[in-house]
Amino acid sequence: MIGLSHYLIVSAIIFSIGLVGVLRRRNLLMLFFATEVMLNAVNIAFAAISHYYNDLTGQMFAFFIIAIAASEVAVGLGLLIVLYKKYGSLDLDDLASMKG
């Protein structure tokens, strides 16, 4: 039988996949994809906890996370388009303007 810990382990694995993506990617669009992966992992955890504790609060938080993800993508893609117009590249190493 599938318990809560199964879901939490899957969620943690997916979250760490997204985290590895955020750490090793240099392209801004790929960083966005990795962020989406992390948000989805958290949603799985919320839905699983909501189911196993018979409580609706987890699902509510998942709804608000989805709304936040949607607005993040809208604003972020606008910023990416502006950056691409200005620099012609989405690579973080090319975009670094402060040489430290």
CB of 5 to another protein, least distance (A): 7
According to the binding rule CB under 8 A, does residue 87 interact with another protein?
no
**Coil, helix or strand for 11?**
helix
CB of 96 to another protein, least distance (A): 12
Q: If we measure between CA atoms, which residue out of 35, 33, 28 comes closest to residue 94?
A: 28
Number of residues in contact with another protein, rule: CB under 8 A? Answer: 72
Residues in 42-81 that interact with another protein by CB under 8 A: 43-45, 47-48, 50-51, 53-57, 59-60, 62-64, 66-75, 77-81
CB of 98 to another protein, least distance (A): 18
According to the binding rule CB under 8 A, does residue 82 interact with another protein?
yes
Q: Using alpha carbons only, what angle is made at residue 77 by residues 71 and 79, rounded to the nearest 5 degrees? A: 105
CB of 99 to another protein, least distance (A): 16
Q: If we measure between CA atoms, which residue out of 28, 37, 19, 32 comes closest to residue 74?
A: 32
CA max distance for the chain:
55
